[in-house]
Amino acid sequence: MKMKTAHFETLKACMLAKRKEQHTDQILTSMELEPAYSNERIRWDWLYATRIDGEYSRVWVARELYPYLNDSHIDTALRKITGLR
């Protein structure tokens, strides 16, 4: 995995904290059971629902990750965090 360890740990902590929120957990669970949603879609929706360092994850990802990673690298980390292959 090409993502820096510090970035991975930040992303993981924030995404798992978001999953613990009851409303988010219900939404993600229903998406996982619905065949219309691919695992990739669920991983990225989960990322976009997450706030990192008090800002939308899209802003953080654009500032911190895209300078040295592409979507494929980020998705590898999301697979590892979410367990959704």
Encode pLDDT of 52-84 as tens digits: 999 999 999 999 999 999 999 999 999 999 999
Encode pLDDT of 17-49 as tens digits: 999 999 999 999 999 999 999 999 999 999 999
Would you state the structure tokens that stand for residue 52, as one six-digit string? 């990192």
Residue 53 is given by DSSP the state: T
54: left (phi over 0), alpha (psi -120 to 50) or beta: left
Find residue 56's DSSP bridge partners: 51
Q: How many domains does the chain have?
A: 1
Residue 29: give the domain boundaries: 5-82
